[in-house]
């Protein structure tokens, strides 16, 4: 994990680092639901584990955290780019959220995502439990993604061609 000195951290980075040190985030790591890979502010990489044991890394953009919701997209850690479309999770309720055709694959289509909530004011009434909650922080987003990746409708992408 990348570190920064206290003197160079802004309030948003300090808030995120405090959230990933809280029991709810740590418990998620211990239960192998997710794991923090790296913080390179204003980005953080977090792997979320699917029901088949595969980890999907999300690259979060966290500027003005937690007042402004984060936005995240599936990430290829080795290639340092958005995950190839054929490697995105799919199936059931997963496909509309992990939709590489929406915004060019730069964000997940979730009410708790900064980019997705734009223009979807109805979500505040239709899906209030999925709207970003600064008081809960990053765990809220991760719990929603983990629930999708462990749902009955989840399908793993095919293995990469060799």
Domain assignment present for residue 70? The answer is yes
Q: Is the pLDDT of residue 5 over 60?
A: no
Domain assignment present for residue 104? The answer is yes
Residue 100 annotated to the active site: no
Token pair listed for 114: 């900064």
Classify burial at 95, counting beta carbons within 10 Å of its beta carbon; exposed 0-12, middle 13-18, buried 19 or more: middle
Q: Is the pLDDT of residue 126 over 90?
A: yes
Q: Is the pLDDT of residue 2 over 90?
A: no
Domain count, the chain: 1
Q: Is the pLDDT of residue 159 over 90?
A: no
Domain assignment present for residue 17? The answer is yes
pLDDT of residue 9: 87
The residue behind tokens 């995240």 is 72
Domain assignment present for residue 161? The answer is no
Question: Who wins on pLDDT, 82 or 6?
Answer: 82
Residue span of the structural domain in which 82 resides: 6-149
Domain assignment present for residue 1? The answer is no
Domain assignment present for residue 77? The answer is yes
Domain assignment present for residue 14? The answer is yes
Question: Who wins on pLDDT, 121 or 48?
Answer: 48
Q: Is the pLDDT of residue 39 over 70?
A: yes
Domain assignment present for residue 156? The answer is no
The closest of 85, 132, 119 to 105, measured between CA atoms, is 85
Q: Is the pLDDT of residue 4 over 90?
A: no
Number of CB atoms found within 10 A of residue 54's CB: 15
pLDDT of residue 162: 63
What CA–CA distance (Å, rounded) separates 125 from 123? Answer: 5
Catalytic residue among 112, 138, 142, 149: 112
Q: Is the pLDDT of residue 1 over 70?
A: no
């Amino acid at each position: 994990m990348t570190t920064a000195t206290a003197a160079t951290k802004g309030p948003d980075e300090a808030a995120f680092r405090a959230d990933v040190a809280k029991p709810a985030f740590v418990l998620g790591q211990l239960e192998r639901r997710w794991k923090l890979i790296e913080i390179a502010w204003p980005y953080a990489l977090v792997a979320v584990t699917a029901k088949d044991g595969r980890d999907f890394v999300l690259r979060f953009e966290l500027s003005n955290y937690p007042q402004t919701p984060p936005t995240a997209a599936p990430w290829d850690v080795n290639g340092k780019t958005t995950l190839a479309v054929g490697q995105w999770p799919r199936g059931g309720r997963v496909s509309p959220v992990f939709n590489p055709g929406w915004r060019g694959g730069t964000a997940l289509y979730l009410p708790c995502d900064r980019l997705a909530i734009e223009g979807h004011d109805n979500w505040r009434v239709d899906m209030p439990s999925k709207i970003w909650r600064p008081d809960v922080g990053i765990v809220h987003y991760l719990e929603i993604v983990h629930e999708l990746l462990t749902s009955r409708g989840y399908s793993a992408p095919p293995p990469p061609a060799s």
